[in-house]
Amino acid sequence: MAAKELDLQQFDLVVVGAGPGGYVAAIRAAQLGMKTAIIEKQHMGGVCLNWGCIPTKSLLKSAEVYQAIQHADDYGLSVSGADFDIKKIVKRSRDIAANLSGGISYLMKKNKITVIDGFAKLSAPGQLEVSVDDHVVAQVAAPHIIFATGASPRVIPGMEPDGKVVWTAKEAMTPTSLPKSLLVVGSGAIGIEFASFYRSFGTEVTVVEMLNRILPQEDADVSKAAERSFKKRGMKFFTGAKLDQLEVKKTKANASWTDKHQKPHSGSFDRVILAVGVVANTAGLGLVEQGVQLDRGQVVVNEWSETAVKGVYAVGDMTAPPLLAHKASHEAVICVEKIAGLDDLEPLNPMSVPGCTYSSPQIASVGMTEQQAKDQGISVRVGKFDLTALGKAQAMGETDGFVKTVFDDETGELLGAHMIGAEVTELIQGYVIAQKLETTEEELMHTVFAHPTMSEAMHESVLDAFNKAIHS
């Protein structure tokens, strides 16, 4: 059907992409009384819900339980014949994703949001053309259009994934059998989570990282502790390394790399996971043609998610870091509320967005690292508390890790918090709230923490920063 034969559907606001940025934007717009549509080419919930955040956490929970069973004797328990079924583990993950995706569809109906299936392109100011299999199926117009199309895995030229031997995250989430050996290229959160998952089930894991330490976005102390912990589990790491060649056979991949000492290495692996970052999904959207600016492939926006084109906005992973689902959702709400003309709005501060890695041990952080603060010329006070000294951690048998806090020595402002250990992805929110409320160091020190809890380590870390630690 030709585009000119289609009626132009009019809305107050249209969202392109139904991931955690897009569907949240649509719901908030509908709540504020806007006639809203959302356009999605594949899955409600986007990559995060269907192929990222949620299903990977399901996989990692299975790994955590299986790993705990291996240490049952430490708790006075006797378990024999423990085994796993990778197909059931994957099925559980996929079932959870499908259930949640259905939940998003329900929310669209509940909020009376028009859902249009297809690929949207900005065809003119304030207008979108929606296609399915290159056939135009709808034309849509709105004074406000929010793009939330996310990002896709970055590909190394000459080492493109084939989906069989060389995987992206999507294939790594749905294995039909476990590889005996695995090479993970890249040690950010995605690479480390998969490395941790596969190692839990006995796969020999090697990680190659181009930068000088793993988890390079984390505080240096956390990176060092994480590498020590992962090495205890039998994982191998090469940091400051360059992947020189990847030769793919039918069932194997032969890799060669050079370490930070310029020493050559090579190995044969059953599978390879490329986790070297992502690229914003902007191709074919008509953004540049209509005047939207890009910087290194990412859409340029101001603090309210506005692009250079009036009435066109962008949120989430297609814009600047941090590339996290919760950041996308939060800035989507701010964007919509700004469009609606609400008062007393506050732009999102990227440094207030917590980051979490759900490996074993877990890693979580918010705000500046110690080095970032020093690089800005700030005189800092640093507190640190090891979980080995924590009663609850000993009772749980989870003493690997610590909590680290960074304060401005002059003002007492909490600049950052960094954690590694059991359930720290839950604990970090305490510091996020403290930062948001501009809580002083005195208020944190005078706050009562329940005993025995893992959160006591948070208190002790603050006390340590001001030479008042009780248990260290």
Identify any residues that bridge with 38 across adjacent strands, giving them in sequence order.
Answer: 15, 115
Is residue 426 within 8 Å of 360, Cβ to Cβ? no
Query: Catalytic residue at 451?
Result: yes
Round to whole Å and give the CA distance between 170 and 56: 10
Q: State the DSSP code for 165.
A: S
Cα–Cα distance measured from residue 260 to residue 264, given in angstroms and rounded to the nearest whole number:
10
| Alpha-carbon span 240 to 209, nearest angstrom | 6
Give the separation between CA 19 and CA 28, rounded to whole angstroms: 14
Residue recorded with tokens 């955590």: 64
How many Cβ atoms sit within 10 Å of the Cβ of residue 301?
22
- Let me know if 265 is exposed, middle or buried by CB neighbors in 10 A (0-12, 13-18, 19+): middle
The helix/strand/coil state of 253 is: strand
Q: Helix, strand, or coil here: 145? A: strand
What 3-state class would DSSP assign to 261?
coil
Tokens of 87: 């197909």
User: Rg of the chain over CA atoms, in angstroms?
Assistant: 24
Q: One of 135, 144, 451, 471 is an active-site residue; which one?
A: 451
- 344 contacts 155 by C-beta, under 8 angstroms: no
Q: What is the DSSP string of 369-415?
A: -HHHHHHTT--EEEEEEEGGG-HHHHHHT----EEEEEEETTT--EE
- By C-alpha distance, which of 403, 401, 467, 405 is closest to 435? 405
Residues 6+ apart with CB under 8 A from 438: 413
3-state secondary structure of 136: strand
Token pair recorded at residue 60: 């990692």
Q: What is the dihedral of CA 65, 70, 75, 81, to 10 degrees?
A: 100
Asked if 63 and 172 count as a contact pair (C-beta separation under 8 A), the reply is: no
- For residues 380 and 406, the answer to whether their CB atoms sit within 8 Å is yes
The total of other beta-carbon atoms located within 10 Å of residue 251's CB is 10
Per-residue DSSP letter, 92: H
Residue type, 402: F
Q: Give a three-class secondary structure readout of 53-82.
A: HHHHHHHHHHHHHHHHHHCHHHHCCCCCCC
Residues with catalytic roles: 451
